[in-house]
C-alpha cells in the first residue's frame, strides 16, 4: 500500500513538475496521498496507541522517501506540528531547519507561520532555537517586502539611486548575494563588478574589493548568512554574535588578515 502511494506521489510530481516551493495546486493534488500515508499513524495517536512524537517521527522519516517538493512540504508540516504537540521543540527545530534546507524558495512568511504555531505550545524559556528561527524569518520577511517596494520604485524610475541602494541592501539581508552584486555593479561599485568578473571593474583587485566590503560592513548594515563570492577569492564569514559580515581574501590578504577557523568559531577576528 505504501509503495503504491509513493508511486502516486511520483506521478503527481511528474505532472506538476518539481518546484522548490510547491504551488497551491501542487499541494492540493498531493494532499490526499499524504493524508493516506499518515492516516494509520494519526489514528493510532488518537487511539492513544502512539505518541505525538511517534507521529512526528513517522512524517519526518517519510520525507526522504517522498517524491516531489509538495509531498516533502506537507510531511515537514506534519512533523513540525506533531513534534511541537509533543513539546519536543528540538526535533521540531530540526524538522523546520531541514525544511528550509530542502525547500530553497520557502517564503520567510511560511517559516514565521510554522514557528509561531510551534511557539504557541511552548512555555517561557522553551524552544529557543525556534524563537531564533522566528526572529530570522521576521527579518527576512521584512526584507522581502522591502525588495518588492524597491523593485516597484525602480519600475517607475530605473535610475533611482536610493531605490537601487535599498534593493542591494535588502538582497544582502536575505543572503542573496548574486542579485545584490548585480545591483551594486549597476550602481557603479567596482568591487561588485570585480566579483562578477565584469570588464568595468577597472583596476579593482581582490585586495581593493576586500577593502570595499570591509568598509561596507562597518556602516552598520545588518548582514547575515555566509556565502562564497567569486569562487574562492573572498570568504564571507558570519559572526554569530553580532551578525556582522567579515571576509578573508586568499593569498593577497594573508599578510594583512590573520584568520583561522577556530577564531571564527570563537567569534574573534584579528586584523
pLDDT top residue among 114 and 194: 114
Inform me whether the pLDDT recorded for 118 exceeds 90: yes
pLDDT top residue among 229 and 201: 201
pLDDT top residue among 125 and 224: 125
Per-residue confidence at 183, pLDDT binned at 50, 70, 90?
A: very high
Mean pLDDT of the chain: 76
pTM as predicted: 0.63
The pLDDT score that the predictor gives to residue 68 is 81
The pLDDT score that the predictor gives to residue 219 is 54
- Residue 270, beta-bridge partner list: 258
Pairing of strands 245-249, 227-229: unpaired
Residues 12-70: tens digit of each pLDDT: 444 333 346 889 999 999 999 999 999 999 999 999 999 999 999 999 999 988 878 89
The pLDDT score that the predictor gives to residue 17 is 37
Q: What is the DSSP string of the chain?
A: -HHHHHHHHHHHHHHH---SS--HHHHHHHHHHHHHHHHHHHHHHHTTSS-HHHHHHHHHHHHTT--SHHHHHHHHHHHHHHHHHTT-HHHHHHHHHHHHHHSTT--HHHHHHHHHHHHTT--TT--HHHHHHHHHHHHHHHHHHHHHHHHHHHHH-TT-HHHHHHHHHHHHHTT-HHHHHHHHHHTT-HHHHHHTT-GGGTT--HHHHHHHHHHHHTTT------EEETTTTEEEEE-TTT--EEEEETGGGTTT-B--HHHHHHT--B-
Residues 75-99: tens digit of each pLDDT: 999 999 999 999 999 999 999 999 9
C-alpha cell belonging to residue 243? 551578525
Amino acid at each position: 500500500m505504501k509503495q503504491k502511494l509513493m508511486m502516486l506521489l511520483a506521478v503527481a510530481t511528474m505532472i506538476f513538475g518539481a518546484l522548490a516551493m510547491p504551488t497551491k495546486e501542487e499541494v492540493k493534488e498531493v494532499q490526499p496521498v499524504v493524508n493516506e500515508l499518515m492516516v494509520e499513524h494519526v489514528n493510532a495517536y488518537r487511539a492513544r496507541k502512539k505518541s505525538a512524537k511517534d507521529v512526528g517521527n513517522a512524517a519526518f522519516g517519510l520525507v526522504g522517501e517522498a517524491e516531489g517538493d509538495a509531498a516533502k512540504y506537507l510531511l515537514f508540516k506534519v512533523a513540525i506540528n506533531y513534534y511541537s504537540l509533543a513539546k519536543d521543540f528540538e526535533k521540531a527545530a530540526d524538522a523546520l531547519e531541514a525544511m528550509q534546507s530542502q525547500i530553497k524558495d520557502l517564503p520567510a512568511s511560511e517559516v514565521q507561520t510554522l514557528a509561531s504555531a510551534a511557539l504557541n505550545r511552548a512555555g517561557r524559556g522553551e524552544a529557543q532555537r525556534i524563537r531564533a528561527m522566528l526572529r530570522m524569518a521576521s527579518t527576512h520577511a521584512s526584507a522581502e517586502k522591502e525588495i518588492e517596494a524597491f523593485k516597484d520604485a525602480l519600475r517607475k524610475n530605473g535610475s533611482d539611486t536610493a531605490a537601487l541602494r535599498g534593493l542591494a541592501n535588502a538582497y544582502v539581508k536575505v543572503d542573496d548575494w548574486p542579485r545584490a552584486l548585480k545591483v551594486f555593479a549597476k550602481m557603479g561599485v567596482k568591487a561588485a563588478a570585480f566579483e562578477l568578473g565584469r570588464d568595468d571593474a577597472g583596476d579593482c583587485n581582490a585586495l581593493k574589493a576586500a577593502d570595499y566590503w570591509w568598509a561596507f560592513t562597518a556602516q552598520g548594515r545588518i548582514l547575515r548568512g555566509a556565502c562564497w563570492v567569486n569562487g574562492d577569492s573572498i570568504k564571507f564569514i558570519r559572526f554569530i554574535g553580532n551578525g556582522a559580515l567579515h571576509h578573508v581574501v586568499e593569498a593577497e590578504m594573508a599578510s594583512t588578515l590573520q584568520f583561522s577557523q577556530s577564531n571564527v568559531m570563537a567569534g574573534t577576528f584579528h586584523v
